[in-house]
Amino acid sequence: MELHQFTIEDARTAIGKGEISPVELTEAAFRRIEAVEDKVHSFVTLSREDAVLQARQADESVKRNAGRLLSGIPLAIKDNICTKDVRTTCSSKILEKFVPPYESTVTGKLMEQEYVLIGKANLDEFAMGSSTENSAFGPTKNPWDVTRVPGGSSGGSAAAVAADMCIAALGSDTGGSIRQPAAFCGVVGLKPTYGRVSRYGLVAFASSLDQIGPITKNVKDSALLLNIISGHDRRDSTSANMPVPDFAAVCGKDIKGMRIGIPREYFIEGMDGEVEASVRQAIKKIEALGAVPVEISLPHTGYAIAAYYILATSEASSNLARYDGVKYGLRVEGKDLIDMYMNTRKEGFGAEVKRRIILGTYALSSGYYDAYYLKAQQVRTLIKQDFEKAFEAVDVIVTPTTPTPAFKIGEKSDDPLQMYLADIFTISVNLAGVPGISVPCGFTSRNLPVGLQIIGKHFDEEAILKVAYAYEQSSDWHKRKPIL
């Protein structure tokens, strides 16, 4: 195995034994980036000088037997997570030159463990998209087929992990933005329970839905990163003051007798046949490991996309009002203050961001608030109650992550409704605030990855990690690598 193909566990073991140094591992990652980044375009910013410096510092710690959990391990960070003194753009022209004066909580925790920041990963502008085609800096491509999308909005993070340009990455998930690209790129993506991980330093899209999580090469690595980034943070009022278990410790535990819910609403007409076949085969494998299948219903699933695109756009309309050309970011002058606001937003925001701001502003406007926003909140409550009722009967819920494999670049760009449907199986999880993980479960005849989604109760990431790890160890889908 080449160094750039290492997992976090592989890297920790090799560095701990003195077989490789953090500097060697970091340089291997940059050699890989030089070889394939032109084909994939995963990164907005690369941090080579700082990365080598961080690797040298980690090297010194290891030599003093003071190494930490991530000493010298190169990770990519989605470019909507603030990194002090490193450009953070949200893949938007309006923040093209923005350099944060502070560190996000999650990257601060990674720094305490001596990680190496290899670069900032591309995304759909302000995380608004399902394909990473909406970036102001150009689309990211799927390493399995560079004519196809990597998913979104964390497409840069997922593609970088799949192409072995980093050992692991962080993404953010508002309606599926970790799990959907993980499925499209054949890697593992975990969205924690809302409140499990601090959002301090995550540039807001929809504050009641956004959550940061890991994208990794296997389930154990996701558990290890979740251990590090979880926990209460007084700087985030939505951060839950809950104990953080050792998530990695559940990997390898028996799943015999666990009740696996299979919702009938997630196997729908129009779903790709090969995706369904792979997911059903994965469910059979989980049954063979001793889990008990239980057919369940999540009856309000069909209303999730409509509710989500009212709530998320309404919150976006509010959150993005701060980009006015006054305090930071792009400024385009005008004849007066209002003209300057309009010119700045016209030049700074892309088409999808403008579309969502307009939708959200309309939903919140006088006379429409009750008909749209309030009604969507009521539907959200019904969806949350669906999950609560289901979890009275089952321990986890198993579904496809996406209805299709990765689609062609440009295929859905002119049809926003078709693009939004790419998240049909992931959005409900965000509306309910529960955790979900996507793991590779097969490939189509065109050699495109398929993802299996495992959903858990609030703050029960242990259950989904236990099932995900057991399934992963019974298959070898996660070991396949794209040829670039």
Per-residue pLDDT tens over the stretch 185-208: 999 999 999 999 999 999 999 999
pLDDT average, residue stretch 67-77? 97
pLDDT for the residue 400: 98
Active site positions, annotated: 78, 153, 177
pLDDT average, residue stretch 90-99? 97
Binned at pLDDT 50, 70 and 90, residue 413 comes out as confident
Chain-centroid distance of CA 97 in Å reads 24
Judge whether residue 253 has pLDDT over 90. yes
259 in Cβ contact with 224 (< 8 Å): no
Binned at pLDDT 50, 70 and 90, residue 1 comes out as confident
pLDDT average, residue stretch 337-353? 95
**For helices 375-390 and 304-319, what crossing angle results, to 10°?**
120
Domains of the chain: 3-254 (3.90.1300.10)
- Rounded to the nearest integer, the mean pLDDT of the chain is 97
Q: pTM of the full predicted structure?
A: 0.97
Q: Closest by alpha carbon to 21, among 51, 53, 70, 56?
A: 56
Q: How far is CA 341 from CA 314, 326, 349, 352, 357, in A?
A: 20, 8, 12, 19, 14
Per-residue pLDDT tens over the stretch 420-463: 888 999 999 999 999 999 999 999 999 999 999 999 999 999 99
SS3 481: coil
CA torsion sign for 228, 464, 174, 232 is negative
Q: Closest by alpha carbon to 172, among 149, 185, 189, 159?
A: 189
25 in Cβ contact with 72 (< 8 Å): yes
Quote the longest CA-to-CA distance of the chain: 70
Query: How far is 89 from 94, CA to CA, in rounded Å?
Result: 8
Per-residue pLDDT tens over the stretch 286-304: 999 999 999 999 999 999 9
For 253, residues 6+ apart whose C-beta sits below 8 A from its C-beta are 466, 470
CB atoms closer than 10 angstroms to residue 333: 9
